Amino acid sequence: MLICGLSLAACAGGGDLAPAPLSPAAERGQQFAARACAGCHAFAAPARSPNTAAPSFAVIRLRHNEVALERTLERIAREGHGEMPPIYITSAEIEDLVAFVESLEPVAQLDGPGAAVVRLTEGERPGPRS
């Protein structure tokens, strides 16, 4: 009985691991995001973005891989996107912002009544329900 209790205690305690420290590039990207993006975009789900049309960075992480996000940010810098006007961002800042977004845990956020946040592990993608 004691062995069973210890096994359960060991399993229960492993879920609250501290997040890994950010790389220097991701730290710079986080600082840029706090200065230039946080007025519209939330840093992580389940937090709602101040602008409800703007996805959180955690949702952006799910939608784009590194290359696609870099290209999207370059396009936004030139042309804007939806309500978002063109922004001044250097190539180095884009790389840092991509590093920050890539450091986030990917989530899928479902909007509407009873909205849910689904945390995905690496390699998973949302699919049809059975």
What is the domain partition of the chain in residue ranges?
22-113
pLDDT at 16: 53
Give the integer Cα–Cα distance in Å for 108 and 41: 15
Residues contacting 119, CB < 8 A, separation 6+: 105, 106, 107
Give the integer Cα–Cα distance in Å for 31 and 37: 10
Closest CA to 36 of 79, 10, 73, 6: 73
Name the pLDDT band for 67 (thresholds 50, 70, 90).
Answer: very high
What's the CATH number of domain 22-113, 3.40.50, 1.10.760, 3.30.70, 1.25.40?
1.10.760
Name the pLDDT band for 109 (thresholds 50, 70, 90).
Answer: low
Average pLDDT over residues 10-38: 80
Average pLDDT over residues 86-90: 93
pLDDT at 18: 63
Closest CA to 44 of 33, 58, 34, 26: 58
- In the predicted model, is pLDDT for residue 4 greater than 90? no
pLDDT at 105: 81
pLDDT at 45: 67
Q: Where are the beta strands (DSSP E) in 1-130?
A: 107-109, 117-119
User: Exposed, middle or buried: residue 98 (CB in 10 Å: 0-12, 13-18, 19+)?
Assistant: buried
pLDDT at 60: 92
Phi-psi category of 24—alpha, beta or left, where left has phi over 0 and alpha has psi -120 to 50?
A: alpha
- In the predicted model, is pLDDT for residue 100 greater than 60? yes
